């Protein structure tokens, strides 16, 4: 057996990894729409032959064919029951190929889903998924682990934690960057390298996505922020499609020329990713032999500068908006929901806003494409309302229509325009609306969006880059006390509060007991709650709300009252009476209400408000 890997690492000798195993499988006829990891079970001899080609080319380390063999990615292929078998086979095949002459690295890639703070999967769940790979890879006899091609550092942290829970083997932590050297979220090397350096790993590196030149530029920056050995595994250039096949155009000689430059920049571990064949590795091995002594000189270079930190003071809650100040002061607040018009004339809705403002209403809620319908931008309408009326708007902001870049741009622009209240929601899927063939984005859900806005409130964007002056959004979220899966709703509410939510607005409430039960359940994560109030206009309106509006549940007793009132020709009056009863019962238990204006009419709103004290 070769010496323990850490001894090799400590010697300062250059270490050569293999190349793009997936590229080689593709070249052998394994198509992109199949699962490369399953080949460990279907054609183990093919995988072993490819490992042996890289070893013959001069690789010191070969990686297992298990990059995507986690429960989430395999589930997409109906293979979730074979996670253990695929990873174990991957390790055993590589071990057989390496024999006593080379090292085997257990390859672990991203889960392929969004985890907190940008998605619903918790850190604990992510770590458990990574453990499902770690255990069989250990059983199969790997010498070290490579967690690679990560774009989300929070996810990489969970992969490392899963390994360290069961093993003290060496770990290479490798992220992927763009042509500018930043992660997918725009985090530059001077910010992500110190975070990687703080992990319990032995090596840091970059792999995939870019060719040798951009990787060299990023590695040179990384070398200023860590003392740990650096690894570089670039693609063989950017992929090109030719006659329906994916090819990489960097020649072995070109890759080898940059290998020498990478060594001079401080890299101790070399290899390749997509497009890197045994021929590339052979040429790199031949080319770098003369540079072996360089490493000792590089170790003398002073590194590990402290990461730059900013002294940012978030805006206090009471100073964020008049609505926030009122809630902080314990005042019972009132918001009214008005639906943006379908056309381009805002005159009518602005007139209604003026009337509500004159009546002492605190804010106006503006839905964002309610029920996936195309309407005037509630962002533009919010700015008009703020500038021309003076009342504070609460624009809803949903995740359905925008990617992460668009969201950050919108939120920075809205705040600059004076909009400081916001309600963050996931949004209805397009199939519910007027254009069922429209596509949805859903880069994040409401939990991830809350984390994003909370980051902006602390002066950082998604990539943990400083933005200068922080935003001061008063962050609201939705809540559904009548959710079919109430425990899931409560768990998601906890996540929203932990992510930075400062108040919540419920769906329209007709079941008082359900809301009071919900408030009891969220006591440990209590934030101010505004109860949704909807004055029913007719029995038909009640049927529609009860059957076709997600999250709304109308008890049988209220449905019967509306049915009887409809028969007597007084349904509108009964609907207002029910809403008034809701306000009077709930007032001691919530910090305010949001009243919907049915069909844009304000008279029912004013009648509901009449049960509140005149001083409000």
* pTM of the predicted protein model: 0.76
pLDDT digits (tens, 9 = 90+) for 183-240: 888 889 998 999 999 999 999 999 988 888 889 999 999 999 999 999 999 987 655 5
**CB contact at 8 A, 240 and 249:** yes
Candidate from 25-29, 117-121, 295-299 with smallest mean pLDDT: 295-299
**Which secondary-structure segment (H or E) carries 263?**
helix 252-264
Distance of alpha carbon 415 from alpha carbon 562, whole angstroms: 43
**What is the average pLDDT score of the chain?**
88
* Top-confidence residue, 299 or 331: 331
Side by side, the strands of the sheet bearing 144-150 are 15-16, 267-270, 230-233, 203-207, 171-175, 144-150, 103-108, 61-63
Residue 436 has pLDDT above 90, yes or no: no
Q: What's the CATH number of domain 5-299, 3.40.50.720, 1.10.3260.10, 3.30.930.10, 3.20.20.330?
A: 3.20.20.330
Q: Which of 140, 125, 149, 146 is nearest to 72 (CA)?
A: 125
Distance of alpha carbon 90 from alpha carbon 87, whole angstroms: 5
* Top-confidence residue, 124 or 295: 124
Quote the percentage of the chain above a pLDDT of 70. 90
Distance of alpha carbon 263 from alpha carbon 43, whole angstroms: 36
* Top-confidence residue, 309 or 314: 314
Residue 100 has pLDDT above 90, yes or no: no
pLDDT on residue 413? 95
> What's CA 82's distance to the chain center, in Å?
27
**CB contact at 8 A, 384 and 285:** no
pLDDT digits (tens, 9 = 90+) for 320-355: 999 999 999 999 999 999 999 988 999 999 999 999
Mean pLDDT of 501-509: 95
What value, to the nearest 5°, has the Cα angle with vertex 318 and ends 312 and 324?
A: 120
Could you identify the residue written with the tokens 């309302």? 385
Identical fold at 5-299 and 322-537+587-609?
yes
322-537+587-609 is a CATH 3.20.20.220 domain: yes
pLDDT on residue 293? 37
Handedness of CA 369, 375, 380, 381 (dihedral sign): negative
What does R_g of the chain's alpha carbons equal in angstroms? Answer: 29
CA atoms within 13 A on the CB side of 31: 3
Residue ranges of the domains in the chain?
Answer: 5-299, 322-537+587-609
- Among 152-161, 295-304, 462-471, the range with the most confident prediction by mean pLDDT is 152-161
Residue 90 has pLDDT above 50, yes or no: yes
What value, to the nearest 5°, has the Cα angle with vertex 72 and ends 76 and 45?
A: 75
365 dihedral zone (left: phi>0; alpha: psi -120 to 50; beta): beta
pLDDT on residue 443? 66
Name the pLDDT band for 297 (thresholds 50, 70, 90): very low
């Amino acid at each position: 057996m070769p010496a323990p890997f850490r001894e090799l690492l400590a010697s300062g000798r250059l270490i050569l990894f293999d190349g793009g195993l997936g590229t080689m499988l593709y070249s052998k006829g394994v198509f992109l729409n199949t699962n490369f990891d399953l080949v460990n079970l279907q054609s183990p001899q093919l995988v072993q032959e490819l490992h042996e080609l890289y070893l013959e080319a001069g690789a010191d380390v070969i990686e297992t064919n298990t990059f995507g063999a986690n429960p989430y990615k395999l589930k997409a292929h109906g293979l979730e029951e074979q996670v253990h078998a695929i990873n174990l086979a991957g390790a055993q095949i590589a071990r057989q190929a390496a024999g006593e002459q080379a090292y085997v690295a257990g390859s672990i890639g991203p889960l392929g889903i969004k985890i907190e703070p940008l998605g619903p999967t918790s850190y604990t769940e992510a770590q458990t998924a990574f453990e499902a790979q770690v255990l069989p890879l250990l059983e199969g006899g790997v010498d070290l682990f490579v967690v690679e091609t990560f774009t989300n550092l929070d996810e990489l942290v969970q992969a490392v934690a899963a390994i360290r829970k069961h093993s003290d083997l060496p770990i290479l932590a490798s992220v992927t960057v763009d042509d500018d050297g930043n992660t997918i979220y725009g985090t530059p090397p001077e910010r992500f390298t110190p975070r990687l350096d703080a992990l319990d790993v032995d090596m840091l590196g970059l792999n995939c996505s870019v060719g040798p030149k951009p990787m060299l530029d990023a590695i040179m920056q990384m070398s200023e922020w860590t003392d740990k050995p650096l690894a570089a595994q670039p693609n063989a250039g950017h992929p090109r499609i030719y006659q329906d096949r994916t090819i990489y155009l960097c020649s072995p000689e070109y890759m080898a020329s940059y290998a020498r430059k990478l060594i001079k920049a401080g890299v101790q571990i070399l290899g390749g990713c997509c497009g890197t064949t045994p021929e590339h590795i052979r040429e790199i091995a031949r080319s770098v032999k003369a540079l072996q002594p360089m490493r000792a000189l590089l170790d003398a270079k002073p590194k590990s500068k402290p990461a730059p930190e900013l002294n940012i003071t978030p805006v206090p809650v009471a100073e964020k908006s008049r609505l926030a100040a009122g809630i902080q002061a314990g005042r019972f607040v009132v918001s009214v929901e008005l639906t943006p018009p379908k056309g381009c004339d805002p005159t009518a809705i602005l007139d209604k806003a003026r009337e509500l403002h004159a009546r002492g209403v605190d804010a106006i809620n503006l839905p964002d494409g309610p029920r996936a319908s195309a309407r005037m931008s509630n962002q533009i309408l919010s700015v008009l309302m703020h500038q021309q009326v003076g009342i504070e708007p609460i624009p809803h902001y949903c995740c359905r229509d925008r990617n992460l870049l668009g969201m950050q741009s919108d939120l920075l622009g809205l705040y600059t325009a004076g909009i400081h209240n916001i309600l963050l929601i996931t949004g209805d899927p397009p199939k519910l609306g007027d254009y069922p063939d429209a596509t949805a984005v859903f880069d994040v859900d409401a939990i991830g969006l809350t984390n994003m806005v909370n980051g902006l409130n602390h002066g950082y964007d998604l990539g943990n880059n400083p933005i200068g002056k922080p935003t001061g959004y008063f962050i609201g979220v939705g809540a559904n006390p009548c959710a079919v899966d109430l425990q899931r709703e409560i768990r998601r509410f906890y996540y929203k509060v932990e992510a930075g939510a400062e108040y919540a607005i419920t769906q329209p409430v007709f079941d008082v007991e359900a809301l009071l039960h919900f408030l009891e359940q969220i006591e440990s994560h209590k934030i101010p709650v505004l109860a949704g109030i909807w004055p029913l206009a007719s029995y038909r309106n009640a049927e529609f709300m009860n059957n076709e509006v997600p999250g709304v549940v109308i008890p049988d007793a209220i449905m019967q009252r509306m049915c009887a009132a409809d028969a007597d020709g007084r349904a509108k009056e009964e609907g207002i009476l029910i809403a008034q009863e809701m306000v009077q019962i709930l007032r001691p238990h919530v910090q305010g209400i949001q009243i919907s204006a049915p069909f844009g009419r304000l008279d029912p709103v004013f009648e509901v408000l009449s049960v509140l004290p005149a001083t409000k």
